Amino acid sequence: AQSVTQPDIHITVSEGASLELRCNYSYGATPYLFWYVQSPGQGLQLLLKYFSGDTLVQGIKGFEAEFKRSQSSFNLRKPSVHWSDAAEYFCAVGGDSGYALNFGKGTSLLVTP
Amino acid sequence: KAGVTQTPRYLIKTRGQQVTLSCSPISGHRSVSWYQQTPGQGLQFLFEYFSETQRNKGNFPGRFSGRQFSNSRSEMNVSTLELGDSALYLCASSLFGSGSYNEQFFGPGTRLTVL
């Protein structure tokens, strides 16, 4: 069965600093991997996705993620964080059940001035 | 193109009642999935409908049910509400059926509070 672990429940970074959010997955075959962001009171917005090919994927809002099969990881990165990036970030994996996504518990990002 | 819409946005019910939530997918999308989000359990998959047929179902009791109409709009129903059903219910739509894995677009959710 597929599963996703986001080891960091909360992360605090200063505005302008770099960011890396960790995501580890468990899945036998090549997974479909996603990062979503959720602002308070809102639904989920897709930041980026990995299906195959280039292991470094670019997303919206300046985010990127790197798929590392050897480490079963799909970490999200941003070189310079903006105050508006404060939100909840979810990593998700798909594949076993068609369109059902298996989400991690999420990482809450706080951005300080 | 309009996004996924969910109605109502907020609901307050009491234990034992039933509730129906509605989701209108993006125009042209034929797949609708439902997720439950709670602080303790996170995001959990409820079920997915494609062309009026339930294709996948998560690990939820039979009190949770859904359906999809010919225009792809979907409803989910929860009967005999329990306090633990308080959650944000998210609907997601995507384009195609089996054979390809497409991006899911999420609605803003319906916040259900059970008293």
Question: From CA B68, how far away is CA B91, in angstroms rounded?
Answer: 12
Chain A residues within an 8 Å CB radius of B100: none
* A to B CB pairs, distance under 8 Å: 60
* Nearest-CB residue to A90 (from B33, B43, B105): B43
A109: which residues sit within 8 A by CB, 6+ positions away? A11, A12, A13, A19, A21, A81, A85, A86, A87, A88, A89
Comparison of pLDDT for A37 and B103, the residue scoring more: A37
Comparison of pLDDT for A78 and A42, the residue scoring more: A78
Highest mean pLDDT among A6-15, A24-33, A44-53: A6-15
Number of C-beta neighbours around residue B33 at 10 A: 28
A39 at B interface, C-beta within 8 A: no
B99, pLDDT greater than 60: no
* Nearest-CB residue to B56 (from A49, A51, A99): A99
A88, pLDDT greater than 70: yes
Interface of A with B in 55-94 (CB under 8 A): 90, 92, 94
A107 at B interface, C-beta within 8 A: no
% chain A with pLDDT above 90: 72
Structure tokens at B25: 């997918």
| Confidence (pLDDT) at A42 | 83
Question: From CA B47, how far away is CA A100, in angstroms rounded?
Answer: 8
Segment B82-98, tens digit of pLDDT: 999 999 999 999 886 54
A17, pLDDT greater than 90: yes
Segment B6-20, tens digit of pLDDT: 999 999 999 999 999
B8: which residues sit within 8 A by CB, 6+ positions away? B21, B110
A27, pLDDT greater than 90: no
What spatial distance separates the first Cα and last Cα of chain B, rounded to whole Å? 37
Q: Rounded to a whole number, what is the distance in Å from the CA of B68 to chain A's nearest CA? A: 16
CA-to-CA separations, A104 to A57, A113, B75, B94, in angstroms, rounded: 19, 28, 26, 21
CB B1 within 8 A of CB B90: no
Chain B residues within an 8 Å CB radius of A5: none
* Nearest-CB residue to A101 (from B50, B104, B109): B104
Q: Which of B38, B45, B46, B93 to mutate to test the interface with A (most CBs of A within 10 A)?
A: B45
- Confidence class of residue A99 from pLDDT cuts 50, 70 and 90? low
CA-to-CA separations, A16 to A38, A47, A82, A110, in angstroms, rounded: 21, 19, 6, 13
Q: What is the DSSP string of A26-92?
A: E-SSPPEEEEEEE-TT--EEEEEEE-SS-SEEE-GGG-EEEEEGGGTEEEEEESS--GGG-EEEEEE
- Confidence class of residue A96 from pLDDT cuts 50, 70 and 90? low
CB contact under 8 A, B55 and A99: yes
B60 at A interface, C-beta within 8 A: no
| Confidence (pLDDT) at A52 | 81
